Structure formats: C-alpha cells, structure tokens
C-alpha cells in the first residue's frame, strides 16, 4: 500500500513517504476572516478533510493544522469601511467559517492557531533572518531580501527578473521592489504590536511560516492550500522558512477553484455563493457531495443544474441505503475494509471520482440483489457502501448527518399522514382493479415531488430530486 500525491513543487505524482513512519503532518492555509465563507473557501477544507480521512483509514496518526489569518490588510480595510473593531470582524467570520466546516462534515483540526496569538514566534523568525542576512529593517518595516535566497520562485516556476511582487501601502525603504514585507510599521488607527524594530503588525506570509514552525517543527509532510496561494503566499513562506533554517514542507498539494462563468469565485469579484445561504437551500450532505467528489485538482464550474445532478446522484445512494436498512430490519454496520478498487483509486492522488464510481457500481449491485430478493447480498453491498462513504464523510447513517433527517420532523409527520391518506385511496382503487384511478393518483403525487414505490410491505414514499 502506497499513497501517491501530486507534488506541486516536483510537478509530478510522487509516492508519499512520511518523515516519521506511521505519522502524517499537514499544514493547511485556512481562513482569512475578513468576510463570511463562500463555497470556494469550504471546498479547500473539504478536499483536505478527505485527504486526512484517507490517511487515517490507512492507519496513519494525522496531525492536521489549519490556521486562521485574523489580521491582514483586508481585515483592516473592512474595519474602516464598517466602523467596527478589526477583532470583532475577525471573530464573527471565524465562527462563520467554523459553522460552514461543521455543517459540511469536516473534522475539526488538531490545532487551529490564530495569527495574532503568535507574534513572539514571528519576532523570533525575523530576528533570525536579519542575523543571517536574509532580511532587513527600513522605516519600521522588515523586508525579506529575495535575492539572498537562491531557491526563490522554484514552486511557482517564475523568473525573478520578470517578477511583479504585490506591494501594500506604506511599504517604503525597500532595497529591491521585489522584496516582500514580513512586518509593516504602525499606521494611525491600525492594530500594532511592539517589536525591536518598532510597533507594527505582521505580514501575511510571515504568519504561516511562524505557525507551521511552532506546531509542526522544522520539517513536516504536507503543506496545502488553493492554487491561488502558490504565489506569492506559498513562495514567500518557503523563502522565509528555509532561509531561517527549516526544511519546511516535503510535499505541496493545491486544490483547484470553484468558478462562476469561468472566473475564480471570490469575495472581491462579487461572484461568491455564501455557505450560510447555500445550506438553507440544499442539504449540507448534498453540498459536501457536490464540492468534495470532483478531483481536488479539477475546477468546479458552479451551476444550479450541476447541484441538482449531484442531489439526484446522492439520492440514488441514499435510496439504496434506506431500502436495505428496511429489508434488514435495522442498521447494517460498515465493512471493516473498503473494496480494493476503491482503495486503489484513493491511493492514486486521492482519486475520488474513480472511487465514487465504485460506490455507484456497488449500489447498482445491491439494487439488483434487492430485486432478486437476495437479502444477504444486499446487506453485504450496503456494508461496503457504508465503508466507502464513511471514508468520504458521506455516510448518510453517520451520526453527524442524523440531524438532517430530523430537521422538519413535525412537517414530515404531517406530510406523511396526508400522503398515506392519498395512498390508501390508491390502494382502494387497486383493490377494485381501477388501474386508471390508481395510476392517476401515483402520477399526481410524483408531480408534487414525491417518489412512490410499491414494496412487499406496502407503498412507500420519498422526496424526489428537485
């Protein structure tokens, strides 16, 4: 058994070899909390949640760090625009992110450090870089000297002479315009911390280098994030950490975006779809299926039609699960191991689409067993399906999703009573061989969004895809 992952730095799929046998250390760039999350943000969390779950299934002890950037230019700008404290905006949106992760079934990280809680570690890193000749102070700012680090831009594969480094307001005193700010001097009305070089606040890139060092040490296995972070963020993280003396990340894994009309979903472009609104319109487990089942390196073009297709596909899985549970007369425990073909797909760069094809094939086999009244085979297929869905965080019988079936229970009970009144009329029509009336009742129920199935224990109804 060997897990293989696409390493952005190597630009190829490589065998994963942990630095510590039996252990996996992962650092994921988490939320910048200037606004509530859209589904593009949550996709990253979902992709790495599935990675973490698969490593755990394969027997690894996983340490998973997902940071919170709770101070940066965007948060300060929002604070000025809204006339609210920067920390209030950050905390409010941090909770919104956690609500989104929780709703879509993401496991909580091992640690979730905030940038503002790690200023001493940032000062220590800057001091070391200045002593080694990789950084310098100017006008209260501290900059990283990119020409002092020969490996700079190897991740993004750019040429230094062609580089345009993003630069913020007040970044004066640079020796080279391509140098980037690690620490920004204090400005009126902005939050600041005391350092040997004067009061100021951290730069975005320094935050992650310092937090990764604190929680994972000088070297760790996997650094993750969205494609948009490769430059400048991850490139600058590498420069700081390695110039400081860390080996830093052994493997770089990046997930693709959620797009709308071909453009990356983002708050700045105003084309984002907020998670808090989406979970009101779609069941969270369906959203997880929609966002988590395409390959993590593939773009997702958002559309209502694609979501409806995901809903229908997952409904087929849920319908099978429900029918077998009814047939078995109670819960069916997941199999101890997933089918070999599923494991092979997941080992190959987290091939979730190929793994999901095995799920659907197994569901079809289970449905055939039900049709043949082969109870044992149907139960065996459900056990396999539950094992596979559990690895993906999509098992509808998992306690996490139990609340979904409980929501609106009173309404469900009222609908159930009304539907069965109509179904009783249909059964009466069938008993007197009035097939036209029976079929008309069934068709009217289906037009209202209900799916009617005739089972050995009598007719049953479920909600169809919208």
pLDDT band at 452 (very low <50, low <70, confident <90, very high): confident
pLDDT bracket for residue 415 (50, 70, 90) = low
Residue-wise pLDDT for 79-137, tens only, equals 999 999 999 999 999 999 999 999 999 999 999 999 999 999 999 999 999 999 999 99
110-125 burial string, b = 16+ CB within 10 Å, else e?
Answer: eebbbbbebbebbbeb
pLDDT band at 438 (very low <50, low <70, confident <90, very high): confident
pLDDT at residue number 406: 46
Got the DSSP string for 93-105?
HHHHHHHHHHHTT
The secondary element (H helix, E strand) that includes residue 56 is helix 39-57
* Percent with pLDDT over 90 in the chain: 80
Question: What stretches of 298-434 show up as alpha helix (H) in DSSP?
Answer: 304-328, 340-347, 352-371, 375-392, 399-406, 409-431
Q: Residue 267 has what pLDDT? A: 61
pLDDT digits (tens, 9 = 90+) for 226-277: 999 999 999 999 999 999 999 999 999 999 999 987 778 776 666 568 999 9
For 67, the 3-state DSSP assignment is strand
In this prediction, residue 293 carries a pLDDT of 95
> 426: pLDDT confidence band, cut at 50, 70 and 90?
confident
| Helix segments in 58-197, DSSP class H | 73-82, 86-103, 119-131
- pLDDT-above-70 percentage for the chain: 92
CA-wise closest residue to 18 among 220, 254, 215, 241: 220
242 class by beta-carbon count within 10 Å (0-12 exposed, 13-18 middle, 19+ buried):
middle
Mean pLDDT of 357-380: 98
Do residues 217 and 19 lie in contact, with contact meaning Cβ atoms separated by under 8 Å? no
Q: What is the pTM of this model?
A: 0.87
Q: Rounded CA gap, 163 and 177, in Å?
A: 9
Q: What is the pLDDT of residue 5?
A: 98
**CA distance linking residue 303 with residue 164, whole number of Å:** 34
């Amino acid at each position: 058994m060997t897990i293989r992952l696409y390493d952005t730095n190597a630009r190829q799929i490589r065998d994963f070899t942990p630095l510590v046998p039996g252990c996996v250390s992962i650092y994921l760039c988490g939320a910048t909390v200037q606004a509530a999350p859209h589904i593009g943000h949550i996709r990253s969390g979902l992709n790495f949640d599935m990675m973490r779950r698969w490593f755990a299934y394969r027997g690894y002890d996983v340490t998973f760090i997902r940071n919170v950037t709770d101070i940066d230019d965007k948060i300060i700008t929002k604070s000025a625009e809204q006339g609210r404290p920067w920390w209030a905006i950050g905390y409010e949106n941090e909770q919104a992110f956690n609500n989104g992760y929780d709703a879509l079934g993401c496991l909580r990280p091992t640690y979730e450090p905030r940038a503002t809680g790690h200023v001493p570690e940032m000062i220590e890193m800057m001091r070391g870089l200045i002593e080694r000749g990789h950084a310098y102070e100017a006008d209260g700012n501290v900059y990283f000297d990119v020409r002092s680090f020969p490996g700079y831009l190897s991740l993004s594969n750019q040429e230094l002479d062609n580089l345009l480094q993003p630069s913020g307001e007040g970044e004066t005193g640079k020796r080279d315009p391509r140098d980037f700010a690690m620490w920004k001097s204090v400005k009126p009305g902005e939050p600041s911390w005391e350092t040997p070089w004067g009061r100021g606040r951290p730069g975005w890139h320094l935050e992650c280098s310092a937090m990764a060092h604190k929680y994972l040490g000088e070297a760790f296995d996997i650094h993750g994030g969205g494609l948009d972070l490769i430059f400048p963020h991850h490139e600058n993280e590498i420069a700081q950490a390695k110039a400081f003396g860390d080996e830093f990340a052994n493997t770089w894994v990046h997930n693709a975006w959620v797009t709308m009309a071909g453009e990356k979903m983002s708050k700045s472009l105003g084309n984002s779809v907020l998670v808090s609104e989406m979970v009101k319109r779609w069941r969270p487990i369906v959203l997880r299926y929609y966002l988590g089942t395409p390959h993590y390196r593939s773009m997702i073009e958002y559309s209502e039609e694609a979501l409806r297709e995901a809903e229908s596909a997952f409904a087929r899985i849920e319908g099978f699960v429900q029918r077998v549970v009814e047939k078995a007369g109670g819960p069916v425990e997941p199999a101890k191991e997933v089918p070999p073909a599923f494991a092979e797909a997941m080992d190959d760069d987290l091939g979730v689409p190929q793994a999901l094809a095995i799920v659907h094939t197994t569901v079809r086999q289970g449905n055939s067993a039900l049709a043949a009244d082969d109870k044992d085979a149907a139960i065996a297929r459900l056990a396999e399906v539950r094992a596979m869905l559990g690895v993906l965080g999509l098992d509808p019988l998992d306690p996490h999703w139990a609340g979904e079936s409980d929501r609106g229970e009173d309404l469900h009970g009222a609908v159930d009573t009304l539907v069965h009144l109509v179904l009783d009329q249909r059964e009466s029509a069938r008993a007197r061989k009035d097939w036209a009336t029976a079929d008309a009742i069934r068709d009217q129920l289906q037009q209202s969004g209900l799916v009617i199935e005739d089972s050995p224990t009598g007719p049953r109804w479920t909600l169809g895809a919208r």
